[in-house]
Amino acid sequence: MPSRVSAGERAFKLHCRLEKITLPEQEYRFHKTRKWRFDFAWPDLKIAVEVEGGAYSQGRHTRGKGFEADCEKYNTATESGWRVFRYSTQQVSQYIAIRQLKRVLEKYHVDD
């Protein structure tokens, strides 16, 4: 697992705890041959969360090569049956992410 955890990822994990949502696996490797990982995943449900940093600072996810690599990753995940929810750090901080994920997970009765 990478040693650097973003502020958005820390906040998302905290929000899961506060909302009493079963904690997802972090840095979940979803592909057998590629080193792709999701920031958070509920593998049994094939639901993943990506917290996209750098939206306002020209981070890797918003520049050419990084953006294209992310497209390949997310499209491959979708093709494999995953539902990937992508949020900016601001959306996590504003509770937009956790409210939506709570609605999604409630359909599967995923809670502590």
pTM of the shown model: 0.85
Q: What pLDDT, in 10s, does the model give residues 53-85? A: 765 555 555 556 888 999 999 999 999 999 999
Position 109 in a domain: no
**pLDDT tens digits, the chain, 112 residues: what are they?**
455 889 999 999 999 999 999 999 999 999 999 999 999 999 999 999 999 976 555 555 555 688 899 999 999 999 999 999 999 999 999 999 999 999 999 998 765 5
Residues with Cβ within 8 Å of 54's Cβ and at least 6 positions away in sequence, in order, are 60, 61, 62
Terminal C-alpha separation, the chain:
25
Position 57 in a domain: yes
* Domain count for the chain: 1
| Domain harbouring 44, CATH code | 3.40.960.10
